[in-house]
Amino acid sequence: MNIVLKKMSEKEFTTYFEDKVERYSDVLSENVHEVDSEEPFSKARKQLNNLLPKGIETSNHHLFNIQRGEQVIGFIWLKVEEEKKSAFLYEIFIFEEHRGKGFGTETMKSLERFLQQKEIYYFKLHVFGSNTGARKLYEELGFEIAGINMLKSLSNS
């Protein structure tokens, strides 16, 4: 499939970041089960700015375009802590029209090779329980559950 991970340029990062804020605010709206006075879009922007205070130049963070040939088909956001031999995948995002074609699997395998070259032993990520497609992919790639958050909705009636 010839997936290539290409480091984002500053301009590409700016576009990615604005798109990420929008997508993350949607995720927060769907998956955060608490009362909060801050609306999801503002909360998403604030959290992402805290995680990437220097944008694309934030140390230990790697932001890639996922490319197939010259076409960008998605994005990767990865934090690598070499001293801890650990990496955390903040995001793998494959554009809708390219999903279900094996690109997610191939991208994850490319990431694993990248991390192995850096002698990283632990590859971590978070996935919401409702994201069954991603959970299936990660399990097929050998990821194991490291913890489980649980929720019960209560009514005061």
Give the per-residue pLDDT at 143.
96
38 in any annotated domain: yes
150 in any annotated domain: no
Task: Provide CB contacts within 8 A for 34, sequence distance 6+.
Answer: none
Residues 62-71, mean pLDDT to the nearest whole number:
96
Signed CA dihedral, 26, 151, 93, 5: sign only: positive
Give the total number of structural domains in the chain: 1
Give the per-residue pLDDT at 25.
92
Three-class SS state of 108: helix
Domain, as residue range, for 95: 3-140
Tokens representing 8 are 């984002």
DSSP state of 63: E
- For the stretch 91-135, pLDDT in tens is 999 999 999 999 999 999 999 999 999 999 999 999 988 888 889
Better-scored residue on pLDDT, 77 or 35: 77
**pTM of this structure:** 0.90
- Find the CATH number of the domain harbouring 121: 3.40.630.30
Q: β-strands 122-125, 86-94: how paired? A: parallel
